[in-house]
Structure 1
């Protein structure tokens, strides 16, 4: 069986939150809680969703002219409700820990790709296959000493078969529940824009996120305990000037006492 090693990138752009609301035009930041700093240096989480199409909707022409524009539009609307995901993880010089930072010019990387390999049904089936066959279908998440991306997306078409949505997320910002909620919100708004009568798609209460961090109590300062363990592990604790937001590519087990 041939692996999908040849994935041709058609386009890589950045999708910004919709400007329908004035909220997207203001800077803001969110502090990390101890739930977040626990995963601070963990490798990014890669998730892959499969969507089967029929012959008429799985052509390259239909994909680029109908499916991709619709996904971009609904993603922009979704990011308006999830503004922090459009931003970056940063570490201000006067802050004891990193923060989730959003600015009006921030946007999410959105890659469109094509795979001519005829094994779409095998990849999403229940049979055992090599995990590296899926690697070309998920995007990279860029991080540096100064900032780290929070989310990156890749849409890959398999002509006459279907397409995949690959999503890579920073585990210090997005947990499993948040990732699922974001995808459900995106799907909800994507369905709404099909209706010409819906000019301002909205989210139901159960899909509307809350960014209130004041409800998370941390009297024991577990956030700094976890963060200091990571800094010591990476040799940054002894020299604060070397604080880095780069994600570990290889990581040994960390034991807490």
Structure 2
């Protein structure tokens, strides 16, 4: 496989928690984790830090601190160091940690243009591939759960790329680990202000299963050929991608104007019915959905009557009883909705999309798990679905190893699963959202035109009834 730049490995090693610091532990998967077994692509995220640093300083100062702080952090996030197994004695997979288990850690050097990688404009997906370490299956039936790579761009910056198996953690838990690791590393540099991050909670005993979600999910997994006898999760290497990845900015002023336009077009329904839950997330998702469908249809029209939308919700605080915000694992419910394709293309497509997505929100604590037992059945039945990944609540840009917040964060996972990613803006003072998307070149051109022109021409910003 050829890439548009070279990456030379400087060091490859394995990092463990301090010896004897964690007892042998078995952590069972919950019904929140089990559906993720079908999502075989690992979560891959790249943090780019602008930093004038020489190769010598990188090798003899930065790397030792990062590895030492990583070892100390893994003591508290030990499931990442364990392996995913499904033993004959268990009814479901477990994460097993044994003293001496370790993760892959790679240090590398790249000659590619650092500022180009940090851009928002379309960039070749293949440029990012060698910057994240792959999850390689061990020579048995166990699966590693985390791999890390730190790459130097001499006198320009460094990137920290990590791949982890989504089954062990959702975005909130994954970035919690990154913030704590960065905090410990920063404290080794003399800054202890970031050590206020609390440690993860692994208590699963309060998670209730009122609808038999676990049994239903285990049954549905068989249709994906995931059983105790056929437990094969990790993807094989893929061919080079033909996609480009780009970032679009939705600032707060444009979001507010879109809200006003939607409320104005929907005035009669709102006046005579319940209030519309028109949040920043709802408005942004609706706008992206409309642009995405129109862009794909303009390049390769499908003979499908309906378009489908998937939105995950973090429900740690919505469960009864609630889980702590530091709960480590998956704690997502997926809400599915759909619309007639022609309605999305209509004059009020944005209004109808916003209304449909807003109604997908769980109405109450009692409603939050309703329908969760059907997650896999719905996933397998939709012909084309736009999924949202990430959330501004994850705080991706709040990861500081002692040399400032990231200049740019790329969630590479979207390139393989076709999801659109959302996170807070890197320039947090401006407010708003960053929208990451990967598409074929012609599709990206169409999406960019629709996204930018719809706002620049004030189509949605100045319309009146």
TM-score by length of 2: 0.48
State how far apart, in whole Å, the 2-side matches of 1:32 and 1:97 are.
Answer: 7
**Alpha carbons of structure 1 residues 188 and 156: separation in structure 2 relative to 1, 3 Å:** same
1:173-213 Cα deviation digits (max 9, x unpaired):
111001110111011111112239x8xx9953x43100001
Alignment of 1:113-128 (within 5 A): 113-117=108-112, 119-128=113-122
Aligned residues: 238
Q: Are the counterparts in 2 of residues 89 and 99 from structure 1 also a CA contact under 8 Å?
A: yes
State how far apart, in whole Å, the 1-side matches of 2:158 and 2:96 are.
Answer: 32
- Structure with greater contact order relative to length (CA < 8 Å, sep ≥ 6): 1
2:326 aligns to what?
none
Task: Give the counterpart of 2:145 among 141, 145, 150.
Answer: 150
Task: Give the counterpart of 1:28 among 14, 25, 28.
Answer: 25
Task: Give the counterpart of 2:234 among 247, 251, 257.
Answer: 247
State how far apart, in whole Å, the 2-side matches of 1:100 and 1:38 are.
Answer: 15
1:96-125 Cα deviation digits (max 9, x unpaired):
1110110001011101111122x1111112
1:51 aligns to what?
49
Structure 1: gaps (5+ residues): none
After the TM superposition, which of the residue ranges 224-233 and 26-35 deviates more from structure 2? 224-233
Q: Which has the larger radius of gyration?
A: 2
State how far apart, in whole Å, the 2-side matches of 1:186 and 1:255 are.
Answer: 40
SS of the aligned residue for 2:36 comes to coil
2:15 aligns to what?
15
Q: Are the counterparts in 2 of residues 138 and 168 from structure 1 also a CA contact under 8 Å?
A: yes
Structure 2: gaps (5+ residues): 239-378, 383-465
2:156 aligns to what?
161
State how far apart, in whole Å, the 1-side matches of 2:210 and 2:66 are.
Answer: 42
Task: Give the counterpart of 2:190 among 192, 195, 206.
Answer: 195
Residue 229 of structure 1 deviates from its aligned partner by 2.1
State how far apart, in whole Å, the 2-side matches of 1:226 and 1:5 are.
Answer: 43
Residue 47 of structure 1 deviates from its aligned partner by 0.4
2:209 aligns to what?
218
Task: Give the counterpart of 1:82 among 68, 77, 80.
Answer: 77
**Alpha carbons of structure 1 residues 148 and 159: separation in structure 2 relative to 1, 3 Å:** same
Give the structure with the higher percent helix.
2
Q: Are the counterparts in 1 of residues 109 and 152 from structure 2 also a CA contact under 8 Å?
A: yes
